[in-house]
Structure 1
Amino acid sequence: MSLAASPIRFPDASSRTVMTRRGWWLVLLNVLVPGSAQVLAGNRRLGRFGLGATLTLWFLAVAALVVWLVWPTVLYTVVTSTIGLWAIALVALFYAVLWVVLTFDTLRLVRLVKTAPGARFGIAALGVVLLVGVSGTAAFGAYVATTTSGFLSDVFVAGPPVPPDENGRYNFLLLGGDAGPDREGLRPDSIRVVSVDAETGQAVTVGLPRNMEDVPFGEDSPLHAVYPEGYGAIDGCEVDACMLNSIYTEVELKSPEMYPDAVAQGSEPGIEAMRDAAEAITGLDIQYYVLIDMAGFQQLVDALGGVTVNVPEDVPIHADETFTTVAEWIPAGEQHLDGYHALWYARSRHGTSDYDRMARQLQIQEAMLAQFNPANVLSKFQEIAAAGSQVVKTDVPQSMLGYFVNLATKAKELTTPVVDIPLVPDNGFDPEDPDYAYALQLVQQAVVPPATEEPAE
Structure 2
Amino acid sequence: MRQAKEPASAGAVLGWLVLAALAPGAAHLRAGWRKTGLVLLSCYVAGLLALLALALTTDNLIGSLTENSWLTAILVGAAVLGVAWFALIVHSFVVLRPGRLPQSGQILSGTLAGLLAVVVVFPFGWLSQAVWTSRQTLNDIFQETPSDSPSAAAAEKPEDPWAGRQRVNILLLGGDADDHRIGVRTDSMNLASVDVNTGNTVLFSLPRNLENVRFRPGTPMAQQFPNGFRLPTDPGGGRSDLLNSVWEYADAHPEIFGGKQHQGAKVLMDTIGYTLGVKVDWYALVNMWGFARLIDAIGGITITVEQDVVFGKYNEGLVKAGTRKLKGADAMWYARSRTYSDDYTRMRRQRCVLGALLDQADPATVLSRFNRIALATKELIRTDIPRSMLKNLVPLALKVKNAKVTSVQFVPPLISTGYPDWEKIRVIADKAMRDSARGSSPVAASASPSLSPSATASPSPSPSSSPSPKKSAVKKNGQNPAKGLMEGCGGPL
TM-score > 0.5 by shorter chain: yes
Using the TM superposition, give the Cα deviation of residue 190 of structure 1 relative to its aligned residue in structure 2, in angstroms: 0.4
Q: 1:335 to 1:259 in 2, by over 3 A?
A: farther
| 1:100 and 2:86 are equivalent in the alignment | yes
Runs of at least 5 residues in structure 2 that lack an aligned partner in the other structure: 146-151, 156-160, 438-444, 448-462, 465-493
Q: Distance in 2 between matches of 1:167 and 1:400?
A: 14
What amino acid sits opposite 1:138 in the alignment? F
Query: Structure 1 stretch 386-395 or stretch 252-261: which is displaced more?
Result: 252-261
Find the residue that maps to 2:45 and give its secondary structure: helix
Q: 1:158 to 1:182 in 2, by over 3 A?
A: closer
Q: Deviations over 1:186-214 (max 9, x none)?
A: 21100111100011100001100000011
In structure 2, the partner of 1:203 is 201
Q: Distance in 2 between matches of 1:39 and 1:242?
A: 78
Q: 1:425 to 1:259 in 2, by over 3 A?
A: farther
Using the TM superposition, give the Cα deviation of residue 252 of structure 1 relative to its aligned residue in structure 2, in angstroms: 1.2
Using the TM superposition, give the Cα deviation of residue 135 of structure 1 relative to its aligned residue in structure 2, in angstroms: 1.8
In structure 2, the partner of 1:265 is none
| 1:63 and 2:56 are equivalent in the alignment | no
Q: Distance in 2 between matches of 1:190 and 1:82?
A: 32
What amino acid sits opposite 1:190 in the alignment? S
| 1:424 and 2:395 are equivalent in the alignment | no
Q: 1:402 to 1:181 in 2, by over 3 A?
A: closer
Query: Structure 1 stretch 58-67 or stretch 99-108: which is displaced more?
Result: 58-67
Q: Distance in 2 between matches of 1:326 and 1:60?
A: 61
In structure 2, the partner of 1:444 is 430
Q: 1:256 to 1:61 in 2, by over 3 A?
A: farther
What amino acid sits opposite 1:151 in the alignment? T
Q: 1:65 to 1:165 in 2, by over 3 A?
A: closer
Query: Structure 1 stretch 157-166 or stretch 335-344: which is displaced more?
Result: 157-166
Q: Distance in 1 between matches of 2:332 and 2:113?
A: 48
Q: Distance in 1 between matches of 2:258 and 2:119?
A: 53
Q: Deviations over 1:25-84 (max 9, x none)?
A: 5313311321343355377786566445423431233225435xxx6x521122111110
Q: Distance in 2 between matches of 1:28 and 1:182?
A: 58
Q: Distance in 1 between matches of 2:387 and 2:360?
A: 22
TM-score normalised by length of structure 2: 0.78
Q: Deviations over 1:308-348 (max 9, x none)?
A: 11111110121x2xxxx211211111121111111111110
Q: Deviations over 1:129-149 (max 9, x none)?
A: 543443210121111111111
Using the TM superposition, give the Cα deviation of residue 98 of structure 1 relative to its aligned residue in structure 2, in angstroms: 0.2
Contact in 2 for aligned 1:19/1:114 (Cα 8 Å): no
| 1:38 and 2:28 are equivalent in the alignment | yes
| 1:114 and 2:100 are equivalent in the alignment | yes
In structure 1, the partner of 2:397 is 408
| 1:150 and 2:140 are equivalent in the alignment | no
* Residue of structure 1 aligned with 2:44, choices 26, 39, 54: 54
* Residue of structure 1 aligned with 2:171, choices 170, 173, 189: 173
What amino acid sits opposite 2:17 in the alignment? V
Q: Distance in 1 between matches of 2:37 and 2:172?
A: 55
What amino acid sits opposite 2:16 in the alignment? L
Query: Structure 1 stretch 356-365 or stretch 294-303: which is displaced more?
Result: 294-303
Q: 1:132 to 1:256 in 2, by over 3 A?
A: farther
Find the residue that maps to 2:303 and give its secondary structure: strand
In structure 2, the partner of 1:395 is 384
In structure 2, the partner of 1:361 is 350
In structure 2, the partner of 1:383 is 372
In structure 2, the partner of 1:249 is 248
Find the residue that maps to 2:229 and give its secondary structure: coil
Q: Distance in 1 between matches of 2:163 and 2:4?
A: 71
Q: Deviations over 1:249-299 (max 9, x none)?
A: 11112337628777xxxxx42111211210111011000100001132222
Q: 1:77 to 1:298 in 2, by over 3 A?
A: same
What amino acid sits opposite 2:382 in the alignment? K
Q: 1:196 to 1:28 in 2, by over 3 A?
A: same
Q: 1:32 to 1:166 in 2, by over 3 A?
A: closer
Q: Distance in 1 between matches of 2:257 and 2:269?
A: 13
What amino acid sits opposite 1:61 in the alignment? L
Using the TM superposition, give the Cα deviation of residue 174 of structure 1 relative to its aligned residue in structure 2, in angstroms: 0.8
Using the TM superposition, give the Cα deviation of residue 360 of structure 1 relative to its aligned residue in structure 2, in angstroms: 1.0
Using the TM superposition, give the Cα deviation of residue 435 of structure 1 relative to its aligned residue in structure 2, in angstroms: 0.4
Find the residue that maps to 2:419 and give its secondary structure: coil
Contact in 2 for aligned 1:27/1:123 (Cα 8 Å): no
In structure 1, the partner of 2:264 is 270
Contact in 2 for aligned 1:76/1:402 (Cα 8 Å): yes
Q: Distance in 2 between matches of 1:124 and 1:220?
A: 78
Contact in 2 for aligned 1:50/1:98 (Cα 8 Å): no
Contact in 2 for aligned 1:423/1:429 (Cα 8 Å): yes
Find the residue that maps to 2:307 and give its secondary structure: coil
Contact in 2 for aligned 1:256/1:269 (Cα 8 Å): no
Q: Deviations over 1:328-379 (max 9, x none)?
A: 2111111211111111111101111100111111111122222332221222
In structure 2, the partner of 1:286 is 280
Contact in 2 for aligned 1:30/1:103 (Cα 8 Å): yes
TM-score normalised by length of structure 1: 0.84
Q: Distance in 2 between matches of 1:221 and 1:157?
A: 26
Contact in 1 for aligned 2:254/2:260 (Cα 8 Å): no
Contact in 2 for aligned 1:256/1:270 (Cα 8 Å): no
Find the residue that maps to 2:227 and give its secondary structure: coil
Q: Distance in 2 between matches of 1:122 and 1:336?
A: 46
Contact in 1 for aligned 2:66/2:390 (Cα 8 Å): yes
Q: Distance in 2 between matches of 1:274 and 1:447?
A: 21
What amino acid sits opposite 2:182 in the alignment? E
Contact in 2 for aligned 1:231/1:237 (Cα 8 Å): no
Q: Distance in 1 between matches of 2:446 and 2:52?
A: 43
Contact in 1 for aligned 2:5/2:32 (Cα 8 Å): no
Q: Distance in 2 between matches of 1:35 and 1:61?
A: 19
Q: Distance in 2 between matches of 1:391 and 1:167?
A: 29
Contact in 2 for aligned 1:35/1:48 (Cα 8 Å): yes
In structure 2, the partner of 1:330 is 319
Q: 1:331 to 1:143 in 2, by over 3 A?
A: same
Q: Distance in 2 between matches of 1:88 and 1:216?
A: 49
Q: Distance in 2 between matches of 1:199 and 1:360?
A: 29
Using the TM superposition, give the Cα deviation of residue 222 of structure 1 relative to its aligned residue in structure 2, in angstroms: 2.0
